[in-house]
Amino acid sequence: MERTGTDFIRSMISRDLETGKYGGRVVTRFPPEPNGYLHIGHAKSICLNFGLAAEHEGGRCHLRFDDTNPTTEDETFVEAIKADIHWLGFDWGAHLYHASDYFERLYEYGVELIEKGLAYVDSSTEKEIQDLRGSVTEPGRNSPFRDRSVEENLDLFRRMRAGEFEDGAHVLRARIDMAHPNMVMRDPVLVRIRHAHHYRRGNDWPIYPLYDFAHCLSDSIEGITHSLCTLEFENNREIYDWLLLNTSAPEPRPEQTEFARLNLEYTITSKRKLKALVEEGHVRGWDDPRMPTLAGLRRRGVTPEAIRSFCDMVGVAKANSTIDLAKLDYAIRNDLNYRAPRAFAVLDPVPVVITNYQEGESEVFDAPSFPPDVGKPGTRSLPFSRDIYIDRSDFAEDPPKGYRRLVPGGEVRLKHAYVIRLERVVKDGNGDVSLLECTYDPASRGGATADGRKIGGTIHWVSRAQAVPATVRLYEPLFTVADPSNAEDFRLVLNPESERVLGGAVVEPGAAAVRPGTHLQFERSGYFFADPADSTDGSVVFNRVVGLRDGWKPPALESGEAEQAPRSASPSRPPPSTGEVAGDRGDPRDSLKAPEHLDRYDAMVAAGAPEGLASNLARDAELAALFRGGEPESDGHGGALAKWLVHEVGRARDESGANLEDLVPQALGRLVAAVEAGRFSHHQGRGLLESLLEGTTLEDAAKGLGEADDDGAIDDILSGLMDSNPDKVEAYREGKEGLLGFFVGQALRQADGRPDPKRVSERARALLGS
């Protein structure tokens, strides 16, 4: 498979292939210990090792179970690991191996080291060995058994193999240097006695190799060329090389290379701690949707494609770092946007009666299963009647400023249906809202008004007669701190709100009929997954996979600073629909399939739009039309217009339900040109955009901004605030400069947010300092 990205590991392999170091072979391995379930951190190593093998003709990746600890390993974990790797989309073919198959050969290597005077049997206790090891500032001391003869060592080692001694009686140690600056090299233990049942070997093998001894020699036995480990094994590379150099391991010898492990915010990946979460009942099992295990992610509804994409975005680095959890959410959202049909679900229902709709009448609306930018066909039927449900969050009796949903006397658009007006709020004896009485505009079928009046917002709904109850589980991070591994006790930072179960939700009929394991986007709520274990016929349980809000965006390609992330071997992924760049770090045109998308892309790039933004806009017919109409008015600022469309206009539509039908493209172009020319600040531009979305002309929207930005008008407001707050003025002048924010915030509030905050801050600083 052709490689489309590069990193230091791929560069190293390319050099090895050019020099013929391993005869043109690329053989990697993924060596899990079968003592737990794989987690998101393992996914990076899986994608890297299997991906590298697939990128090179004849390459292969071995799956080797590092099963050298009989007390913790189990066949159950072996099968779970194999299932997880297959689920991720990788296969080892005929190359399934176990370190336990090499016990005899490892024993022979131990004999070889003894015969060379490079290993000895130590009869010290574990504590004595530890005490003699020294520290990073002090050299270790030799064991009293270090100078045993070769003959005595061979005799003791053979008797260890025969099972004559109890656990802990002896160990085999490498004979290197107890003053070595790398403490790993201070006569490391290679083999220990362990009388325990092994899940594959039974009770016939009483001695077990330690990781450092088994790791490198197993690699050599299998003909591994590139042994890739995470950075915590960096100090172990020296013993890896020493053992291969000082045994009869064939050449060319494998080489160990370290890369940064995947550390994710709000997540722990320690098997010990994950096991405690399960055994102490903090979660329901290894596949609890809150767990970072691959089984848990799969149960929540995360797809293997999303995980592979996430690992690609993270890339391969030499230094450890912590990855923003929002980056994983971005990869999940990008994938599900393409595959999840849309549906209506009201999570916190409040009943609505449309008083002027004929009682007993009903109708059906056809709604698209996917938005236009996804480009997939399909419709669904939405029954409509006099009695419906809306979400409680879409109604406010005393709305905050800027609220664009249902308010007393106000109108909203029921998506795909009619415009309704709230006439009366009915409350129960406790003062809680029990019913909203509304009227509808019969001429607004489909959402458009006959008289052209502007409607503030669009909300979703479900017909009460056809509403189907459903259980909805909302998930948040399992921990309340970004780095729970550093907490004194990780149990103390568990998030009590990591799972919220909504028992009163209702969904449209089509959503209730999906099979377990189906993805849906509940419009305006998030992406959900019909739980494959808890859903039954007639009773669906939906897990929220990820919300709709995007907390992370990939770096823009046009910045020239985007890291070249490698592509793991995986099926082609659907293109993203939001963010600045398409998922592929290659040519953005490669992700555009439809001819009209390519035409739009080429036109937008020619007009100055950055490639990454143009790629996304090309797939969104509505935003692309706004670019086409607005660009001639943008005074050559096509790139800025593209950014406004993706980050401001698209977000207003997707997150706030803004209706773009009222937005005049030419007005948007003139707004962008004015902001770029410095006539308005970006902050002011956002405010003007809100007015444009409501159908106001740019000229009318801008009235008053000039006066508001006039220094005299700003000074009048600030002077009034200073007169009203002499104590704060005095405190500021005595050194409490944080109070500057108080005066700026109050001034902006009095001016309805119209002035440029930067200018207000400058004037406030000047007046307060005088």
Q: Transcribe 657-702 into DSSP letters.
A: ---GGG--HHHHHHHHHHHHTTSS-HHHHHHHHHHHHTT--HHHHH
Q: Which pair of structure tokens corresponds to residue 560?
A: 């020239």
Residues 6+ apart with CB under 8 A from 532: 299, 516, 517
Residue whose tokens read 């500057």: 740
CA dist list (Å): 565 to 160, 311, 413: 49, 9, 43
Q: Which of 85, 76, 30 is nearest to 53 (CA)?
A: 30
- Whether 622 is a known active-site residue: answer no
Buried b (16+ CB within 10 A) or exposed e, 616-628: bbbbbbbbbebbe
What gap in Å lies between CA 618 and CA 597, rounded to an integer? 5
Buried b (16+ CB within 10 A) or exposed e, 67-79: bbbbeebeeebbe
Residue whose tokens read 């790791």: 215
- Whether 271 is a known active-site residue: answer yes
Sign of the CA dihedral 495, 322, 582, 44?
negative
Contact call for residues 468 and 530 (beta carbons, < 8 A): no
For 144, the enclosing helix (H) or strand (E) is none
Q: Transcribe 566-609 into DSSP letters.
A: PPPS-PPPPPPSSSSS-S-SS-GGGG--SHHHHHHHHHHHHTT-
* CB atoms inside a 10 Å sphere around CB 630: 26
Q: Which pair of structure tokens corresponds to residue 469?
A: 């109850």
Point out the catalytic residue in the list 21, 33, 152, 651. 33
What gap in Å lies between CA 651 and CA 653, rounded to an integer? 5
Point out the catalytic residue in the list 146, 261, 589, 651. 261
> Phi and psi at residue 59, in whole multiples of 5°?
-70, 155
Point out the catalytic residue in the list 3, 271, 339, 491. 271
For 509, the enclosing helix (H) or strand (E) is helix 509-512
3-state secondary structure of 465: coil
3-state secondary structure of 647: helix
Q: Partners of 654 in the beta sheet? A: none
> Phi and psi at residue 644, in whole multiples of 5°?
-65, -40
* CB atoms inside a 10 Å sphere around CB 163: 14
DSSP class of residue 118?
S
Contact call for residues 319 and 260 (beta carbons, < 8 A): yes
Catalytic residue numbers read: 33, 261, 271
